[in-house]
Amino acid sequence: MSTKLLVSLFLAVVLLSARAAERPNVLFIASDDMRPQLGCYGDKTVKSPNLDALARHGMVFLRSYVQQALCSPSRISMLTGRYPATTGIFEIGRTLRTTMPDITTMPQHFKNNGYHCRSLGKIYHVGIDDDASWTVPAWHSRKPRNGPVGTAAVAARKKEIAEKGITAPAKGKGAVNYAVPAFDAVACGDDDLLDGDCAVNAIAQLREHAKTPEKPFFLAVGFANPHVPWVSPKKYWDIYEREKIPMAANNFLPRGAPAFAATSGMDFHWYAGVPEGDLPESFARECLHGYLAAISYVDAQVGRLVAALKETGLAKNTIIVFWSDHGYYMGEHTWWGAKHNNYEGATRNTFIISVPGMKNAGRATESIVQAVDIAPTLTELCGLPPNDGFQGRSLKPVLDDPEAKVNDAAFSWYPKGPGYLGVAMRTDKWRYVEWTKPGAKTEIELYNQAVDPQNNLNVADKPEHAKVLEVLGQRMRERFPVQTYEEPPPAVKKKDN
């Protein structure tokens, strides 16, 4: 090989290394079941100083929507940048390679372009991971999710099942994981529970990355809270006065909605000690107390991660994303610890992006955004080549100008009832939902978000809205054809934990 060619190759390697070193890192933080109930979203009860500080250095997306209000399908949609209509996954159980074996995910796209990609905690749904997305296999903490009371309850349930020689049910009151109380204030330190341990390991990983700044990283860190059971160290309970926590006023089902659509999951009622039927106010307040404490526990871990970025010097070149996998109901519409539908409270999520040196730091935007937009956004921000498979749109124009719009609507899916598949379209003013089933009449829901932000009244049957239904229906058909849903075999379905 000639000297000239060797020099050319050497210079090419140096140039590629230099370009890689210039690319920003990504710290992607996910939280489970955290609805947009933070100080930076205008909530005056929750204590979220660290996420509020992140918002002051980033942008808060006030109208962000996931593509399904269920953990695994939502995460798969976000991580692939594809709608559930494309992934074909609407339930918990199947991996994305089941339906799309040759797909390139968002983290895989980063890995293919020179990034060291790692997953710590719950990023994909636990047990439904994707090795091709990561440089090394995903890591999960072995620390307990529950405190001593919950841990002992699980052990007792396992012993009872073994002594009786029966098979433990996957769901319902008798299932092992539902033996724990719905909430618990634990006398322990942050790192004694799963989420604190996840933060410890993420900080260690950041310090390792600081030793090789020439190698960009994509580090995904997923916290289990505030998914029920709401378990956190007692110090986070102590910062709240239970009697001052406001309760939902709309404790009734959406009026005028199809009966099968106006439902949510019943998982919450399977946990130990949860009363049947309506919750007594005292118990409901304890639930809210536990949920807020769980948010504050996650908030503290986020603060630790951001502090580690600053301590290591990585903050100046690291994009931070905070995202939750869907919304949540805590008493609204009579639903507790629940999602499992196509309404605003289930599909609207928490979403913050902080980019070093961004000119609109501290701003919030009303622009409608979707979880599928994250993949093309980070791809553009990090200077990677576009991935034609991503179906979302880059949010860089919104980061540059909070008044900009890249979507005229957000779309969400959910299979419900006896074979119906619902598709929701959220526009500036309306939430329009079509429920289709082969051989059955299409059911429609319509909510005026300007006057009914919590979807209390379905106005689809009002004569004055006939033209609105026609226009919105046409818009939906232009984007997505009528779909059907066929349940997978029971063997691949899993519970939501």
Which residues are known catalytic residues?
A: 71, 125
Check if the beta carbon of residue 135 is closer than 8 Å to that of residue 117. yes
User: Do residues 328 and 35 make contact, with C-beta atoms less than 8 angstroms apart?
Assistant: yes
Task: Report strand pairing: 329-330 vs 336-338.
Answer: antiparallel
Q: Which amino acid is at 259?
A: A
Give how far the C-alpha of residue 476 lies from the chain's centroid of Cα atoms, to the nearest Å: 24
Maximum Cα interatomic distance, the chain, rounded to a whole number of Å: 83
In a 3-state reduction of DSSP, which class is residue 255?
Answer: strand
DSSP readout, 115-144? -EEEEEESSSPTT---GGGSSS--B---S-
Cα–Cα–Cα angle for 297, 496, 449, rounded to 5 degrees? 75
Nearest to 26 by CA among 309, 224, 302: 309
Query: Across-strand partners of 351?
Result: 323
Single-letter code of the amino acid located at 295: I
User: Could you give phi then psi for residue 127, rounded to 5 degrees?
Assistant: 85, -5
Q: How far apart are CA 438 and CA 486, in angstroms?
A: 11
Distances (CA, A) of 347 to 9, 102, 319, 350: 50, 28, 25, 10
User: Residue for token digits 């619902």?
Assistant: 422
By DSSP bridging, strand 410-416 and strand 420-426 are: antiparallel
What span, in angstroms and rounded, lies between the C-alpha atoms of 19 and 23? 6
Kindly state the tokens that stand for 434: 């079509």
Q: Are strands 318-324 and 351-354 parallel, antiparallel or unpaired?
A: antiparallel
What are the structure tokens assigned to 459, written together?
A: 């106005």
Q: What share of the chain is helix, strand, coil (3-state, %, to 5)?
A: 40, 20, 45
- Cβ atoms 225, 302 nearer than 8 A: no
Query: From its phi and psi, is residue 88 left (phi > 0), alpha (psi between -120 and 50) or beta?
Result: left
* Cα separations in angstroms, 366 against 38, 62, 154, 339, 427: 16, 5, 44, 23, 12
Rounded CA separation 431/446 (Å): 6
| Nearest Cα to Cα of residue 248 among 404, 15, 483, 37 | 37
